[in-house]
Structure 1
Amino acid sequence: MKFLTQQDFDEMSFRWKSRTFRTFPLQAEVKKDVPLIGYSLSAYDNSTTLTSGTPHVGLFVLVATVHDEKQNNFGKLIKFKNDMGVDCAIYLSNSSLRNGNGVNEMVKRGFYMEPDSQVIHKLQRYILLTKSDNFVPYVSYTGYSKAFNSFVLPDGLYNKDGKKLVVYDQRADDLPLDVNGSYTVWKNDIASHAVQYPIPAFALIVPFSSLLFPFVDLGTIFTHFYGLSSRGKTLLLQLAASVFGNGSDPRNSSQKSLISQWNATPVGLEGMAALYNGSIGLLDEIHKCDDKDFPNAIYALCGGINKARGKSTGALREQKSWVFPGLSSGEQSGLEKIAKTKEEATLGRLIRFLDIHIDGQIFTGLDDIEGERLATQLKGHCSNHYGHAARDFMQQLLNWANDYDSLRERINQEKEEMFSLVCPPDLSQAEVRVMHHFALFALAGRLAVQFNILPMTQAQVLSSVCHVRDIWLASMKAHHDKLIQQQAQKRDYVAILKDEIVNNLHLYQAATDTKPRSNCKGYYQLKRHSNEYNTYLLKPETFEEIFKGNDLDEVCEQLCEKKVLLRASDQFKRSHRISSVMGKNGNSASVRLYTITADIIDDPEETLEPELVLTAEERQLILEQRQGKG
């Protein structure tokens, strides 16, 4: 059994068999002077003599036997002419041929066949039982196939000989991973310009790393470009898309672009991720992702496998897996997006979704007019010339070593060499993990130069990758410094509150006092049978003024953790009856106030930092102030 090349498939022609049939199965007549690939058939009625009547079925060729790597999904690939005379190809599973539904699918696609049950039955049996020397793989994924030592894309199987072999891919229309235009134009009018600038060069380098992922132990990671609008962020995704497929602008083009948008749920993004396996994941317009979905979406995309889900029968659906490098763009960073959900930007998210700030336009050194002109030219070329570079890289990579094991060994060895060049000293363990991805990007760029695909130098590759690396490391440092500052601020919340209460004790009155005071900041409650305070009750405006400029929810959470603020269920304010605030019918009103334990002053050793402990003289002064002696 041999693989069927695209050229063989295209050259297959249809022949008439004009002899009658009496016995089963139908036999295809092959003329000795006409070489045929596969079989052809035209069935007539059951007469014993030749007739010139209308055939019962149209022209078709049984192209090849089909099954996947696991010896499942057996069937036949059929090529036929429809009612319009157009060549069509269809996969018919053996099960559909056995249950009688197979040829109906051909009829739906325009295949001519008389509605005669005997003809239908014999035709299905003929297709089912006829053997072919040709083989077409049934695939449900893109990426490297270890069994075939080839790369699978929806349009074919690419091997080390540079041949495109036919595959049956039921998802062939899901992603525009195809080829169009001129490879020479792509090199001269896209790549040669983009590689002159570090960030556009990085966008061209990253897609090639996808073809190295099957040989290394790394997972999916996203590089996110963010900044002001009209700075070329979407163009970066178009450059990356043009390596594998259609690089048109998804917002302004009637073409089906390889670039998707963020307007999907985590479950929808999982389905998208399975399609991106072995190529490049490209997501534009981050603001279109629902804020509440975004934190989980990062894990969904970078998790590498979808969640187990059941069928209506109770059985589990087959789980899909993926690995690829991803590029994203938008006007806000991933950190800003997460902050809107009040969730913490965990380290796990920060090392899976790398924020890269685009400060200015992507073409450094050009003014806005020149940059816009170049961007317009590149956008046009990405829409018309694409897909060649990845396929060239596939062939040359497969010829770089003899088989999977030798390829894996060589790629990992050279990746470690690149790691020593891209990993600075004194990084955290999490940051070092990300450096392995940057090392793979650098290796992919180096190979693309070595394979004469990217018109740049090895030094330019390393400079581009390290430029983006440094932007990310700077953002990580800024985030880390901000966390330290916030932590320091959190430790001071109790001290700030204590100072404000102590300095304004004369503006607090007893909750039981019936006469209101001017400039009252709050109230206090006494412990039973004691002159000691139980709680301070701060008016909302007083509390907000004390912590002006801070996140009040965060302040309250920290004070609650230290048992300084007493909450009521899920509310930060408690309801208290205040005698000096009149309600309905002349009775005292119930008011919601921030309830602060008096231990913040009376017993500071238990709640405050050591340096905030009061002296005996300070304690006495406070007690005198409470009793109106101060």
Structure 2
Amino acid sequence: MSESQPHLTVVGEPTAPNLERLERPSFAVYEGPTSADGRIFRAGTWYHGIKHANNDDGGQPYDVWICAPLHVDAETVNSDDGSVGRLLRFRHRGRVIEHVMPMEALAGKGEEVLKALMRQGLEIEYNQRRHVPAYIASHHGLNRILATTTRPGWHDASGAFVLPHRIIGDADVRFQDSGKGAHLFTERGSLESWQTDVAHYCQGNPVLILSVCCALAGPVLSRVGVNGGGVHLVGDSSSGKSLAQSLAASVWGNPGIFAASWDMSKGGIEIEASSRNDTVLILDEIKRADPKRVQEMAYAIANGTGKGTMTREREGRPKLYWRVLALSSGERSLSEHAAISGNSAHAGAELRMVDVNAGTRTYRAFDDVHGMAGATFHRKLTTAASQHFGQIGPAFVERLVKETDPDHFHRRFTEIRDHFEAASPQAGRVADRFAVIGLAGELAIEYGLLPWPATSAARACRQLFLEWLASVGDGNAEDRQILTALGDFLALHGDSRFSDIAATLPNANVRQRAGYYEVENGKRLYLLNRASLTEAASGYGRERILRTLETYGALAKTDSGRRQKNYRLPGGGSARFFVVDPDRLDTEREATA
């Protein structure tokens, strides 16, 4: 018995066509009952074959129903890695299902294809399932070619905004995934109900306004050239931080599903960020993060690039990429949590995940509970966010894609950014983040999507930015960390590792000596040796530490232009030390001066 190469016959959409004769072997798709070769074929994908007992006979025709009507509509090209696939289409319970299948899934017996299609509801004749991959592979020279992407968000080649369940914008592009991931972008209720029951009560609450606008700012980042990063809501347990995050999550989907957690590896963070590209990454409870890795994870979120890996053939795998703002929460700041593991805080990590006070406001995280008790206000908004979600985010993007002036968003951003005063470049980067969050809110107000007065979003973001600026100062973050570390070191070891330089004999009680001190006008000046200087500000080189001390006038004495001063030692001999004025290390006093 042998079979020749099948041809493809597609009868699309007619109700009851009449085909006089079938070409065999061939595949055929019938949308309804179809008459051919003297019999009626029910709707579905068929294989019309022919069996040959020997080479001389004409063969015996046979027909096999493979599956429900399955159409191969186009060739796909993945914009992320260039891989080729097929766009498949079928119906399940009245819904049109589209599935992007990579061609590599046809390798072997095609079991991955069968799994993906059956998972989404395609009815397949089990005993004939081997024909399904062959049917798909029989489509060659497809005229329609469309782009696909494995990431949600802006599709740069087409200008469309891609979500797993819809494409916003006039472009022939599709989202490509395995179908196994969680459905993050879901909808319930209506935009009007969300505006009435959720957005209305955010008014008068800077933390809630910031959270909602942070969720809307993701699609705006690329339009104004601002990098990703995050804000970290800090407050005691049950202060309202999680509610603020739930309201932000309701912009794009079900808060219980869309929100993520710090309880994952760095690789997990990369996957979660990529799956929410150009939207918002919500991370609850920083105390669940690994203290040794939390700063590294903050860097990764802001930088938008995953870790490079290699295949067995020692070729680089495609990295994960994303552009996202993170809305984090916790009872501790990022630097406090990192310190649990003994790691010193990195200024860069703190700037990428800046603290927002969500615990000591009028009503803990809230400033206005709209005449309700705090607990009642919390329950009302929690319930509302769980019943109305996923509407405003896509509606906001629908308005963004209609803007044809490429400079419009830059102009609007500049107008708002001018009100976020920051002297240092580092504070300026944080100001950019708060400003783009405010911009997103103001645009949504103009579009009629947020029922708030004009400028209320920008004012709330500016208020929280100024609160952050007042708490840390407008100086260089690395300088601030170095001064703080030195001050803490002197406070901790002032009497145990230092002794009076004016003493006649060495102090035998000092172990692991860090230096000496001398008293001038009733104040101690600390004389640090070279080793203790770098030990005190661990993670920074000596030259960087000295540059900070000079900038803030903390080097009290020098010799002939040198940064060190020579002293006679108790018991004889001499040595050079860095003379530090501890009063100049008080960053909190400098910030409030």
TM-score tier (shorter): 0.7 to 0.9
Gapped runs of 5+ residues in structure 1? 1-11, 34-38, 249-256, 506-532, 548-555, 566-596, 612-630
Q: 1: distance between equivalents of 2:131 and 2:494?
A: 92
Residue 68 of structure 1 and its aligned partner are, at CA, apart by: 3.2
- Higher Cα radius of gyration: 1
* Aligned partner (choices 112, 128, 131) of residue 124 of structure 2: 112
**Aligned positions of 1:88-107 closer than 5 A:** 90-97=99-106, 101=110, 104-105=114-115
Cα distance between partner residues in 1 of 2:231 and 2:303: 15
Distance 1:435 1:225 in 2: 17
Q: 1:376 is matched with which residue?
A: 379
Unpaired runs of 5+ in structure 2? 1-11, 35-42, 52-57, 518-525, 536-566, 582-593
Q: 1:190 aligns with which of 194, 198, 201?
A: 198
SS in 2 for 1:297: helix
Question: Which residue in the other structure is 1:583 paired with?
Answer: none
Alpha-carbon separation, structure 1, partners of 2:212 and 2:17: 53
Match of 1:389 among 389, 392, 395: 392
Contact 1:186 1:381 in 2 (8 A): yes
Work out the CA distance in 2 between the residues paired with 1:124 and 1:44. Answer: 15
User: 2:318 aligned with 1:318, yes or no?
Assistant: yes
- Select which of 228, 234, 238 maps to 1:230: 238
Q: Matches of residues 156-555 of structure 1 in structure 2 within 5 Å? A: 156-159=166-169, 167-170=175-178, 173-174=181-182, 176-248=184-256, 257-358=257-358, 359-360=360-361, 361-366=364-369, 370-401=373-404, 406-407=405-406, 409-424=407-422, 427-477=423-473, 484=483, 487=486, 536-538=507-509
- CA separation of 1:423 and 1:14: change in aligned 2, threshold 3 A: farther
Relative distance call for 1:199 and 1:45 in structure 2 (3 A) is: same
Verify the 8 A CA contact 2:29 2:70 in the aligned structure 1: no
Cα 1:375–1:306, aligned 2, differ >3 Å: closer, same or farther? same
The count of aligned residue pairs is 506
1:138 to 2:148 alignment: yes
Does structure 1 conserve the Cα–Cα contact (< 8 Å) formed by 2:217 and 2:437? yes
Check if 1:129 corresponds to 2:133.
Answer: no
**Tell me, what secondary structure is at the counterpart of 1:68?**
strand
- Amino acid in structure 1 at the alignment position of 2:27: L
Distance 1:85 1:369 in 2: 46
Contact 2:69/2:90 (8 A) holds in 1: yes
Structure 1 residues 147 and 231 mapped into 2: Cα distance closer, same or farther (>3 Å)? same
- SS in structure 2 opposite 1:210? helix
Measured after TM superposition, the shift of residue 364 of structure 1 is 1.5
SS at match of 2:438: helix
Q: CA deviation at 1:413?
A: 2.0
Q: Secondary structure at the match of 1:274?
A: helix
Identical pairs, percent: 18
Alignment-mate amino acid for residue 129 of structure 1:
H
Deviations 1:484-543 (A, max 9, x none): 4664575799985698568998xxxxxxxxxxxxxxxxxxxxxxxxxxx7x653277x99
Farther-moved stretch of structure 1 (177-186 vs 335-344):
335-344
Q: Distance in 1 between matches of 2:94 and 2:484?
A: 73
Aligned-partner Cα distance in 2 for 1:429–1:281: 25
2-structure distance, mates of 1:23, 1:122: 15
| Cα distance in 2 for residues equivalent to 1:465 and 1:563 | 39
Distance 1:563 1:536 in 2: 21
Q: Is the 8 A contact 2:188 2:388 kept in 1?
A: yes
Instruction: Kindly provide the amino acid, as one letter, of the partner of residue 415 in structure 1.
Output: F
C-alpha distance in 1 between matches for 2:296 and 2:430: 20
String of CA shifts for 1:128-163, please: whole Å, max 9, x gaps. Answer: 238475x66422001111222210111121116xx9
> 2:140 and 2:173 mapped to 1: Cα distance?
24
Q: Is the 8 A contact 1:67 1:74 kept in 2?
A: yes
- TM-aligned CA distance change 1:543 to 1:466, over 3 Å: same
- In structure 2, how many angstroms separate the alpha carbons of the residues matched to 1:85 and 1:446? 40
1:138–1:168 CA contact under 8 A, matched in 2: yes
Contact preservation (8 Å) 2:292, 2:341: yes
Distance across 1 between alignment mates of 2:73 and 2:84: 11
Alignment of 1:19-58 (within 5 A): 21-28=22-29, 41-43=45-47, 46=50, 55-58=64-67
Deviation at 1:175, TM superposition (A): 5.0
Instruction: Note closer, same or farther for the CA distance 1:370–1:107 as it changes in structure 2 (3 Å cut).
Output: closer
3-state secondary structure, aligned to 1:222? strand
Partner SS state of residue 41, structure 1: strand
**Equivalent pair of 1:562/1:607 in contact (CA under 8 Å):** no
Q: Over residues 321-349 of structure 1, what are the superposed CA-to-partner deviations in whole Å (9 max), with x where a residue is unaligned?
A: 11111100011111211322333323212
The offset of 1:474, in angstroms, is 2.0
SS of the aligned residue for 1:351 comes to helix
Task: Give the whole-Å Cα distance in 2 for the aligned partners of 1:469 and 1:610.
Answer: 33
The separation in 2 between residues aligned to 1:149 and 1:564, in whole angstroms, is 51
CA contact (8 A) 1:17 1:41 kept: no
Equivalent in 602, 605, 626 of residue 572 of structure 2: 602
Task: Give the 3 Å change call, closer, same or farther, for CA 115–267 of structure 1 in structure 2.
Answer: closer
Paired with 2:232 and 2:580, the residues of 1 have a C-alpha distance of 45
How far apart in 2 are the matches of 1:471 and 1:610?
Answer: 31
CA pair 604-106 structure 1, distance change in 2 beyond 3 A = closer
Please tell me the residue identity of whatever aligns with 2:135. L
| 2-structure distance, mates of 1:564, 1:240 | 43
Structure 2 contact 200–451 (Cα < 8 Å) conserved: yes
SS in 1 for 2:219: coil
Q: Tell me how far 1:284 sits from its aligned partner.
A: 0.3
Output the CA distance in 1 between the equivalents of 2:115 and 2:491: 73
For 1:467, give the aligned amino acid.
Q
Q: Secondary structure at the match of 2:124?
A: coil
Specify the alignment match of 1:254 in structure 2. Answer: none
> What's the RMSD between the two structures over aligned residues?
4.5
TM-score (norm 1): 0.69
- Change in Cα spacing, 1:18 to 1:598, as seen in structure 2 (3 Å) is farther
User: What is the letter of the counterpart of residue 26 of structure 1?
Assistant: F
Partner SS, residue 355 of structure 1: strand
Q: Which has the larger helix fraction?
A: 1
Shift of the 107–202 alpha-carbon distance from structure 1 to 2, 3 Å rule, reads closer
Q: Matched residues in 2 for 1:443 and 1:598: separation?
A: 62
User: Equivalent residue for 2:165?
Assistant: 155
Code of the residue aligned with 1:428 in structure 2: it is S
Q: Is the 8 A contact 2:76 2:87 kept in 1?
A: no
CA apart distance, 1:376: 0.9
Whether the aligned pair in 2 keeps the contact of 1:21 and 1:46 (CA below 8 Å) is: no
Which is strand-richer, 1 or 2? 2
In 2, Cα distance between the equivalents of 1:221 and 1:122?
Answer: 47
Question: Which secondary structure does the structure 1 equivalent of 2:135 belong to?
Answer: helix
Contact map agreement 1:174 1:275 (CA 8 A) in 2: no
Deviation (angstroms), 1:270: 1.9
Q: Determine the structure 1 residue equivalent to 2:83.
A: 73
On the 8 A contact 1:138/1:169 being kept in 2, the answer is no
Distance 1:221 1:122, change over 3 A: closer
Q: For residues 337 and 510 of structure 2, what CA distance do their matches in structure 1 show?
A: 33
**What amino acid is the match of 1:192?**
H
